[in-house]
Structures are given as structure tokens and as C-alpha cells.
Structure 1
């Protein structure tokens, strides 16, 4: 299952958890979005077995002050 993970944080996304997702082999794509008044935003596209696994991987982000949204991607 593929999930798009949107993250808003005061730190650049790449420094948060990018390397761990890459080493785990679940990261398909990642990028930083244009900063706005809420801080730095970015996304990860991950491929995991279940929604629960996606949530668990996101919980490992080493920053407590970030906003995360996880949305399943429809594969056509």
C-alpha cells in the first residue's frame, strides 16, 4: 500500500527521518515544499504493508513539534 505523508515542521524534512525510510526500503519519493507561515513543509511517498506500519514509521520522526497527515494513495 502506498501512503503520502505530509509533514509541517520547523526543520527541513530531509533532516527528520528521510535516511531511516530510505534504509528501510520503503521510501519511493520525498521532497520539500515551499515554506509558508506554518514553517517548513514536505512530503514522503512510502510503500508499506499496512496503514498501521505507516503510522508506526511516522511515529519515529525525531521531532515532537510537527504536524503530520497520512493519506493512502489510490493505485490505478
Structure 2
């Protein structure tokens, strides 16, 4: 299953914290989005067994003062 993980933080974090997902072999894509009113946003696209694994992998990453949203991506 594929999940999009959105991260909002006061500074860019996606590139430097995606290494753990790369080592695990689950990262398909990552990037930073244009800064908005809530600070900097970025995303990871990951491919894991289920939502529980997605949540567990993201919990292992130190994301101080961040808002994280995990959404399943429909694969057609």
C-alpha cells in the first residue's frame, strides 16, 4: 500500500530525515513544498504493508515541532 506523508515544520526537514526510509527500502519519492503560512511543508511517498507500518516508520523519525499527516494513496 502507498501512503503520502505530509510534514509541516518551521524549517525544511524532509530531505535530511528521509534517509531512514531510504535505508528501509520503502521511500518512493520525497520533496519540499513551497513555504506557506504554516511554515515549510514537505512530503514522503512510501510503500509499506499497511497503515500500521506507515505510522510506525514515521514515529521512529525524530520530527520536533512538526505536524504530520499520513494518507493512503489510491493505486489504480
TM-score, normalised with respect to structure 2: 0.92
Misfit runs of 4+, over 4 Å: none
2:69 corresponds to which residue?
Answer: 69
1:54 corresponds to which residue?
Answer: 54
1:35 corresponds to which residue?
Answer: 35
Select the structure that is richer in strand: 1
Offset, 1:58: 1.0
Offset, 1:60: 1.6
Task: Give the unaligned 5+ runs of structure 2.
Answer: none
Q: Count how many residue pairs are aligned between Structure 1 and Structure 2.
A: 75
Task: Give the unaligned 5+ runs of structure 1.
Answer: none
TM-score, normalised with respect to structure 1: 0.92
2:15 corresponds to which residue?
Answer: 14
C-alpha RMSD of matched pairs (Å) = 0.9
- Secondary structure of 1:31 counterpart: strand
Mapped partners of 1:71, 1:25: distance in 2 = 19
8 A Cα contact 2:5 2:44, kept in partner: yes
